[in-house]
Amino acid sequence: MQSGIYVSLSSQMALERRLTTIADNMANVNTTGFRGTDVKFDQVLSNTDNKLNAKVAFVSQGNDYLSTKTGELENTGSLLDFAVKGEAWFGLNTPAGMVLTRDGRFTMSQTGALISVRGYPVLDPGGAPIQLDPKGGEPTVSADGVITQNNKQMGTIGLFTADITKGFLRYDNSGVLATDTPQAVVDNSQVGVAQGYLENSNVNGMREMTELIEVSRAFDSITNVTNGTESSLEDAIKTLGSKS
């Protein structure tokens, strides 16, 4: 009987974690370049009743993973707005190290540095900050990320990949700190840069709201089951106690 309570508690913990990710996704439904978080839950078997040698299935705490669905591209017309085409990321130099992002809202500083919306230097394929000519006019960027000013090549916007499934941490808006070391994309025709575009969040607000309702109902249902199990256990104890 007690195992039922433990199973219910494990389910509640799993649902609470899913509620947290849904709330985070909903908060970033309009965040440029944001990729939503989902949670994968595994079944954990445990021998909890030695007399019956029965295996009881618990719910694991779950593992977060990023949705790989590409958000809708929006044409902004700005020469310093960029979107990644394909499965890759821009690289930013931050105090925490290289941060990966799909947020291409870049600007040029007074000294000519290409920086993110948060002021972090944008990196080239070699991991070095990109330096432009502040007086060199409007930059143009080819599909492979090469930056040109006044017909002079000034650098290349770096695109990077990393195995996010090995672990990650969120950093600012849509930034990601990957456990796996990011690698520059080289000679991949499936990956590129679109100038004058931004990638919207890939979070589907309606889907998240639907999941929120379903998870909330499941949480309430499990809570009722837990309360019923506890009540049955109390009744059993009272019955056994009265007979003794």
> Which range of residues forms the domain containing residue 96?
73-199
Mean pLDDT across 14-22: 79
Question: CA-CA distance, 216 to 231, in Å (whole number)?
Answer: 23
User: Residue 230's pLDDT band (boundaries 50, 70, 90)?
Assistant: low
Question: Is 165 found in the same domain as 81?
Answer: yes
Question: CA-CA distance, 180 to 226, in Å (whole number)?
Answer: 40
User: Residue 137's pLDDT band (boundaries 50, 70, 90)?
Assistant: confident
Domain presence at residue 239: no
Mean pLDDT across 85-99: 97
**Chain segment 103-132, per-residue pLDDT in tens:** 999 999 999 999 999 999 999 999 999 999
Domain presence at residue 79: yes
Question: Is 18 found in the same domain as 125?
Answer: no
Q: 42, 67, 92: which is the final residue of a domain? A: 67
pLDDT number for residue 241: 55
Considering the chain, what is the average pLDDT of its residues? 83
The answer to whether 222 and 58 are in contact (CB under 8 A) is no
Domain presence at residue 190: yes
Q: How many domains is the chain built from?
A: 2
**Chain segment 171-223, per-residue pLDDT in tens:** 987 899 999 999 999 889 899 999 999 999 999 999 888 888 887 776 666 66
